[in-house]
Amino acid sequence: MPRRTQDDVALVPMKTRTAPPPLYKVLLLNDDFTPMEFVVQVLQRIFRMDQEQATRVMLTVHTEGRGVCGVYTKDIAATKVDQVLDMARVHQHPLQCVMEENG
């Protein structure tokens, strides 16, 4: 039902749709120094993977050079990257983690 204003002009409410936020992949990058066991621990702690799933992702990183840990909104993805880098630094491993737009 149209609404009326003082000038007797009909105002019709419009439906607006907001687009979902862009998503970002969080990726681990392979290196020759970080132990595989540590990578599995990172995947379990930060990305809440079980042992089997974490091992699968770790092997993908090892064989293909990189592996997807998850897909998140920008802020969450950036936080996950920071958590991985902090954990690697504390344990003195050169593990690298990046994010890229999921497209």
Domain ranges of the chain: 27-101
Instruction: Using the structure block, give the residue that is written with the tokens 């105002």.
Output: 11
Instruction: Using the structure block, give the residue that is written with the tokens 């020759």.
Output: 32
Q: State pLDDT tens for residues 42-92.
A: 999 999 999 999 999 999 999 999 999 999 999 999 999 999 999 999 999
Q: State pLDDT tens for residues 13-24.
A: 888 889 899 999
Fold observed for domain 27-101 = Ribosomal Protein L30; Chain: A, (3.30.1390)
Residue 96 CB neighbours (<10 A): 16
